[in-house]
Structure 1
C-alpha cells in the first residue's frame, strides 16, 4: 500500500490533473434556415469532447454551450460550426460586416440563386437550339453545383450524425436524377430548392432582426457631464450615477432619472404608445426613447447592458426558445416523418420491380416521392408564424413570454381585471377628511401621512401627494407593520396608530353606528374610505377617489365582440365602490372586499366554472393571482422588474386596448398556423398519390 501511495504521489506530482474549467458561452449562428438544421448542428456541438450541454434555438439563431475550456475552447466550437456549413460569432462580439446593399444582392445564398438561375436559363436556351447537348448538360451541372453546394455539404454532415433531414432528401433526389440522366429535372429541383431555402432564410432573418432592431434606437454614445465639462463616450463606459445630457430631438442612450430640465418623451419603442409623456425631475426615462423639445440632464440608473430595452430583447429571446404546443407537435412529427419518407421511397423503388415492374420507372417515382415529401413548409410554418407574432406584439408594447402563452391567450374563456391601477388610473386624490373624537384635520393629515409614507399602495401615494401641498410637519414612526388586505400600523411618540379599511376597525370592534352610515354614503359615491384610529378609538376618516382608466369601457366591449362573455372585476375595495366602477365600465360580475389570497381563490373558482382564465393586474400587488391564472398579464410593466418576471404577458404601457389586440393577434397567428399545416399536408398527400401513380415529375 505504501508503494502504491508513493507511485500515486509521483504521478500526481509529475502529471498534475488540469482542473475542470466550466463556462457557458453564447454564439450567434449565421446561415441557419431550417429547424432540422438547428437540431443537427445542436447534436454536432453536443457531441464535442468537453461539451456538457448545447442548446440552439432556431427562432433566434442563438447557440448556448456549457463547456470545459481546457478541452474545448470557444474558437474550437466556432470551427465546428463552420465545418457544419454555418458561421458563428461570440455573443456580444461584432459579426463580420456585410457589404452595404439589398439582401438579394449581398447575401451569399441570394448570389448563388442568381448565378445558378442564369446558368439554368442559359441551359434551357441551349437545349431549345441544339437539344440536350454537352454544353446544355454542362450548364445544368453548373446549376446543380452552385445551387446544391450548401445542401450537399449540409447533407454530408447530417449523414455523419445519422440525421436524415430535408437536405439529405434533396441531395438523394438530385443524385438519383443525374444517375438516370435527368439533368434538366435535377437542375430544376436543386434550383427551386435553393429559392425555397433562400425565401425561408429571408423570412427568418427579418423576424430575428425585427426584435434586435430595437437596439438600434439606443445611441452608441452619450454626452457625459462632469462639473462644467462635457465629454462624448461610448454607452458601454457609463457607470450608474453618471450625469448625461440629452438635447431636443435626440434619443436617450440609457435608462435613468431626470435630475434637471423638463421635456416630453416619445416612449413608443418601449410601450407602443406614440403620445409624448411629460418628464419632470424625478421621472424615469428609458434607453431608445425620443426626447422631444426640452434640454434634460439624466442620472444613469442602469448600465447599457441592463437597460429596459435590452431586457425586453432578452426576454423575447427566452420566449422564442419556449416551444408552443403546436411547435412541439410539429417537431415530434418531423422527427419520424423524414425517416418514414425515405423508407417509403426505398420501398417504392425496390418492391414493384420484384414483381415485374420497370426499375428505372419506379426508381424515378421514388425520387419524385423524396422531393415532394420534403417537410420544409410543414416544419418552418409554425416557428415563423409564432416568432413573427411575438415580434409584432413586442413592437406594439406587448411582451409575450413564450409561444405557449401566445396560443393560450387566444383560447381564454374569461378575463379577470383587478380594479385599482388596472381598470382605474391608479392616480388617487384625497376628496374628504372627516375628524372624529376631537382630532383635528391637520392631525389626521400628519399622522396618516406618517404611516402611509412607508407604504407603496396607491392609497398611500394619494395621501403623501396631498400632504406635500400643505405646510404640515410629518412625524417619524417606529415599529411599522403592514396588515395585508386591511391596512398599516406604526408607533408615533409611544402611541400605536392604525390606518386601514373599515374591515380592520370592525375586527377591532371600534366601528360604531355614527361612522358606518358616513362611510357607506361616501362609498356609494365611488370613493374609497380608510380610517385612522388607535387601539381605543377612531380619530378620523379619509376618502380618496380614482378615475376610470381611459379606454376601459371600449376594451370591455371589444373583448365581448371577440366572444369573451365572462368579464369579471376583482378588488379589495368595498362592494359599493366596486359596483359603481363596474357599472361605469360595463362589467356585470365583480367580487369585492377581497384579500390577496382571496383573489387567488376566486381565480381558481372561475377557472373551474368557465375554463381558461386570464388575469390582468399591476404585476406587483396581484402577483399571486396573476401567477395562478392560465394567462397572467401585467400592466404598465416598463421599469418594473417584478411585473416582467411574474407575468406571462407584460403590457409595457398603460393602454388597456392592448389586451383585445393581443387576443386577436393570437387567434390570427393560430389561424395562419392551422392553414399552413393543413395546406402543406393536403398538398403533399395529393402529390404523393400522383407520384406513386406516375403522374408527377421531379420538379412539377
Structure 2
C-alpha cells in the first residue's frame, strides 16, 4: 500500500540551472520518488514520494551524493514570530551576506594586482624591486601572491567546477575554474621560465615571459563572475518576505468570551467553538460565523473587492479581514493552519517552490563547449609532442586553447544585458525583481488580469445620478451626500466626494441610524431621508416608478450598485455607484492582444459585474466568482494546457496566483504582499506597462542571444589558431597574450551591445498600435479597409453615460469603441466601412451630442 508524502527540502550549493537539473536527476533515481520540483532561486526542492519506499534520509543522501547539501525545510507556523525566525535563518539571506564579503575582499586584492600587472603598460610607476628584467621573478611572484587570495575567496568555483567535471556534467563553474586555472598555471610556468633564464643569464628568455603572465586575467574573471552571483543571491534573499508579510496580517491576540468574561489570549490558543469579540477597526483573528451584532467588513485581503461586506448574524467571516465599523461576536470555526489566510500562505509557498527552473542558455552551451575545448587542448598538446616539438611549445599551445576559451565574456553576456534591461525598466517604472522574471516574460502567451484595482480604479465612484420628476441632480446629490456623510461607508463616501466635486452645499443632518442590510436614515429639515437598497424602499411603502426601476435594473446588470434616495414619503431619485474602469485599461488590453497574448479577466466578483467590465475593455474570456485558491487553480489550468502565463494583480488575494504564474505582475499601488509575491512590479500602476514589460523582456533576451554570439565569436575563430592548425602552413601561432586580448575584445562587444538597451522605446515598436483617446486625426475620409476615428461627444456626465455610448458604438458590426469620460472623446476602430454620419446617428440616438468626428483609413 502506497503512502504518498509531499515534503519540502532546503538545498545548498546550487549555482546554475545545470546544478538544479543534477539535483532533480539524482533525487528521481531514489526508489519511491514520484515527482521532484527544484527551485534554483529559492534553493528549495519539493518531493512527492511513497513513504514505504523512500524517506527524508534517502532523499538527502541522494542530493549530498550529487555534491550538494540538503535538509528538510522547517514547517511554516501560523504566527509572525515563526516567519521572522524563518527569515533570519534563511540560507539565501546568509548566502547574500557571504557573497558580499567575498566580492569586497576580491576587489581589495584585484586593484593592486591590476596596478602591478598593467601599470608598466600604462606608464605608471612601480617600486624599484619590481622593475627591470633582473626582478622578473619577483614581479611575477607578487602577482601570484595577490591572485592566490582571490582564488581562495572564490574557491567554491573550483570545488563545484572540478567536481562537475569529475561527474561528467560540467557547469558554468567548470568554465570559470578551468579558465582562471589555465591563466594561473601559465603564469606560474612563466615565473619558472624566468627563473631558468636568470640562472642561465638568458635575458631573452626572461623578456619572453616578463610581460606574458596572466594572473590579472584570473583575478578579473573570478571577481566579475562574483559580481553577477552576488546580485543573484540578493534576489534569492527576498523570496521569503511575502510569506512573512502574509503571516503578519493575522492578529497576535484575540478577545474571547469565556465564563461570561472577556479575556485576551494568543490566537494560537483559540479553539473551534470559542466566541470571539471583534470591535471596530480590529482584524478578525480566525475564520468563523457571526453570532451577534452587525458590521461592515473589509474583505479586500481575501476577495480583492474594495467595498466592505455587511455582516449580520449567520454571516461567515474570514480571518485577517478588517471590521471597519460595528460591533460583533463570532464563533470560531477554523483556526491555526486551517484558516483561509493560512491556506493562502501555503499556496504561495508551494507555487513559488514548484516553478520550473529556467535553463540558462550559457549553461546549456557550456555543457558542450567545456568538454570540447578540453579535448581540443589535450589533443593539440599531444599532437605537437608527437610531431617532435619541445614540451614548452606543446604546453603553450594547450594553454593558449584554454585561455581563449576563458568565460569572461560568457560570464558577462547574460548579467550585463539583464542589468541594463532592468535598469531601463526601472527608469520606466517597471521593476523586475530578479533575472528569471525578465528571462521568462518574453515567453508569455496569456495574460490573466485581476479586476478590482487592476482593470478598474479599485474604489467606488458615482456613475450616474437619476432624479425623479420634479427633482434636480443638485438637489438629489445634496440630500444624498448630507445623509451619507456620517456613515463613512465607501459607497457613501463616493457620493460625498461627488457632491464636493460639484461644489454642492450639504444640508445639516441629525439622528443618523444605520439599518443592517438595508441602508441609512437621517433627519433633514424635520423629514426622514433614507438612502439604501430596494428592500429599504419597499419596507417604507415607497414606490420607485417604472422608469427608475428600469434604470436600477440596467445599472445592476452592468455591475453598478443603485442607491434609492427618499425624503419623507417621496422618492427623489437613484444614485448609482460602481468601481469604474481605468482610462488606460482598454488601450492596455489592445496592446496585449497586439503582442499575441490571450487576455483573461479573473475576479472574485459576480459574473454580471465582471462581464460588464470585460465588455468595456474588450476582454472576451471572463472567469468570475473565484476565491484566492480558485485564482491559483485557474492559473494552473492555463499552464497545464502548455501556455506560459502572466498574472496581473494588486491584492493580497492575488498572491497565490501571482506566485503560481510563470510571471507574476503586481501594480505598485497594490498591497505589499502582492508586490512581494510578484516577479515584476509596475510602480506607475498603469496596466499599459504590462505590454511594455513584455516588450522589454523580448528586447533583453534578443540582446542576450546577441551577446552570447559575440562571447563565442572570438573563441570559435581563435581556437583553431591557438591549437596551431595554421602553424605548419602559414607559421601562425596564437600567443596567449593575443588570446587574452581576444577575450577582452569580446567583452567590450558584449558590454557595448548590452548598453544599446538604454535606448529601448516601447512606444516606437508597438505593433498595431491604436490611437489614444483624445488624439486628433486630420484625414476626413475612410480611404482604406481599416478605420480609425476620434469622436468629440458632449452631454456625458457619468460612468453610465460612458457605458451607454460604448454599447451603442460597439453595436455597429465590425466596430470597437472606447470612451474617455474625462476628455469627452470616443476612440473608434474597426474594419467596417463606417462613415461619420453613421457614427453620429448612433451616438445621437443614444441621447448625446456629437461635436466632431475625425476618421482616417489605412
The whole-number CA distance in structure 2 between the counterparts of 1:346 and 1:305 is 62
Of residues 15, 24, 42 in structure 2, which corresponds to 1:42?
24
Indicate conservation of the 8 Å contact 1:252/1:286, yes or no.
yes
Distance of aligned partners of 1:616 and 1:525 in 2 relative to their CA distance in 1, 3 Å threshold: closer
Q: Which residue number corresponds to residue 701 of structure 2?
A: 673
- Supply the RMSD in Å over aligned alpha carbons: 6.7
Distance of aligned partners of 1:266 and 1:118 in 2 relative to their CA distance in 1, 3 Å threshold: farther
Q: Which residue number corresponds to residue 223 of structure 2?
A: 195
The Cα shift of 1:89 comes to 3.7
The Cα shift of 1:697 comes to 1.9
The whole-number CA distance in structure 2 between the counterparts of 1:198 and 1:270 is 43
Of residues 384, 389, 397 in structure 2, which corresponds to 1:362?
397
Cα deviations across residues 35-73 of structure 1 (Å, max 9, x unaligned)?
222223333444456656543221332112345667764
The whole-number CA distance in structure 2 between the counterparts of 1:263 and 1:343 is 73
The Cα shift of 1:682 comes to 2.0
Of residues 584, 596, 620 in structure 2, which corresponds to 1:554?
584
SS in 2 for 1:63: strand
Q: How does 1:39-438 map to 2 (within 5 A)?
A: 39-47=21-29, 54-67=36-49, 73-75=55-57, 77-78=59-60, 81=63, 86-93=68-75, 107-115=97-105, 117-118=107-108, 128=130, 131-133=136-138, 136=142, 139-140=145-146, 142-143=148-149, 145-182=151-188, 188-217=216-245, 218-219=247-248, 222-227=252-257, 228-233=261-266, 281=311, 287=320, 303-304=336-337, 307-308=340-341, 311=344, 314-315=347-348, 318=351, 321-323=354-356, 327=359, 333=365, 335-346=367-378, 358-372=393-407, 375-376=410-411, 406-407=441-442
Q: Which residue number corresponds to residue 835 of structure 2?
A: none
The whole-number CA distance in structure 2 between the counterparts of 1:315 and 1:99 is 17
Distance of aligned partners of 1:229 and 1:194 in 2 relative to their CA distance in 1, 3 Å threshold: farther
* TM-score normalised by structure 1 residue count: 0.57
Q: Which residue number corresponds to residue 624 of structure 2?
A: 618
The whole-number CA distance in structure 2 between the counterparts of 1:356 and 1:252 is 86
The whole-number CA distance in structure 2 between the counterparts of 1:373 and 1:43 is 29
SS in 2 for 1:32: coil
SS in 1 for 2:580: coil
Of residues 687, 692, 700 in structure 2, which corresponds to 1:664?
692
Number of residue pairs matched? 556
Indicate conservation of the 8 Å contact 1:262/1:295, yes or no.
yes
Choose 365-374 or 132-141, whichever is displaced more.
132-141
Indicate conservation of the 8 Å contact 1:255/1:304, yes or no.
no
Indicate conservation of the 8 Å contact 1:425/1:548, yes or no.
no
The whole-number CA distance in structure 1 between the counterparts of 2:236 and 2:417 is 15
SS in 2 for 1:553: coil
Choose 635-644 or 140-149, whichever is displaced more.
635-644
- Which stretches in structure 1 are left out of the alignment for 5+ residues? 1-18, 433-461, 474-514, 530-543, 591-598, 604-614
Cα deviations across residues 253-311 of structure 1 (Å, max 9, x unaligned)?
7677888796897969996x9xx875764696664x89999999877656457654863
Indicate conservation of the 8 Å contact 2:23/2:63, yes or no.
yes
The whole-number CA distance in structure 1 between the counterparts of 2:54 and 2:68 is 19
The Cα shift of 1:111 comes to 3.5
The Cα shift of 1:666 comes to 2.4
SS in 1 for 2:38: strand
Indicate conservation of the 8 Å contact 2:63/2:70, yes or no.
yes
Choose 421-430 or 315-324, whichever is displaced more.
421-430
SS in 2 for 1:550: strand
The whole-number CA distance in structure 1 between the counterparts of 2:538 and 2:557 is 25
Q: How does 1:633-652 map to 2 (within 5 A)?
A: 639=653
SS in 2 for 1:163: coil
The whole-number CA distance in structure 2 between the counterparts of 1:36 and 1:470 is 68
Cα deviations across residues 67-121 of structure 1 (Å, max 9, x unaligned)?
56677643454466556665444223566956999979x8334434445555566
Indicate conservation of the 8 Å contact 2:284/2:319, yes or no.
yes
Indicate conservation of the 8 Å contact 2:161/2:171, yes or no.
yes
The Cα shift of 1:660 comes to 2.8
The Cα shift of 1:161 comes to 2.8
SS in 2 for 1:29: strand
Q: Which residue number corresponds to residue 536 of structure 1?
A: none
The Cα shift of 1:213 comes to 0.7
The Cα shift of 1:222 comes to 1.5
Distance of aligned partners of 1:381 and 1:108 in 2 relative to their CA distance in 1, 3 Å threshold: same
- Structure 2 residue 702 is matched with structure 1 residue 696: no
SS in 2 for 1:180: helix
SS in 1 for 2:711: helix
The whole-number CA distance in structure 1 between the counterparts of 2:644 and 2:415 is 27
Indicate conservation of the 8 Å contact 2:362/2:708, yes or no.
no
SS in 2 for 1:23: strand
Q: Which residue number corresponds to residue 682 of structure 1?
A: 710
The whole-number CA distance in structure 2 between the counterparts of 1:381 and 1:309 is 40
Distance of aligned partners of 1:166 and 1:426 in 2 relative to their CA distance in 1, 3 Å threshold: closer
Choose 89-98 or 645-654, whichever is displaced more.
645-654
The whole-number CA distance in structure 2 between the counterparts of 1:229 and 1:547 is 40
The whole-number CA distance in structure 1 between the counterparts of 2:661 and 2:551 is 35
Indicate conservation of the 8 Å contact 1:122/1:139, yes or no.
no
Q: Which residue number corresponds to residue 29 of structure 1?
A: 11
Of residues 488, 513, 536 in structure 2, which corresponds to 1:469?
536
The whole-number CA distance in structure 2 between the counterparts of 1:581 and 1:43 is 45
The whole-number CA distance in structure 1 between the counterparts of 2:441 and 2:577 is 31
Cα deviations across residues 211-268 of structure 1 (Å, max 9, x unaligned)?
42122223386202221343453x6665566667789998877677888796897969
Distance of aligned partners of 1:687 and 1:422 in 2 relative to their CA distance in 1, 3 Å threshold: closer
Distance of aligned partners of 1:341 and 1:550 in 2 relative to their CA distance in 1, 3 Å threshold: farther
Indicate conservation of the 8 Å contact 2:251/2:283, yes or no.
no
Indicate conservation of the 8 Å contact 1:345/1:370, yes or no.
no
Distance of aligned partners of 1:225 and 1:526 in 2 relative to their CA distance in 1, 3 Å threshold: closer
The Cα shift of 1:403 comes to 9.1
The whole-number CA distance in structure 1 between the counterparts of 2:608 and 2:52 is 61
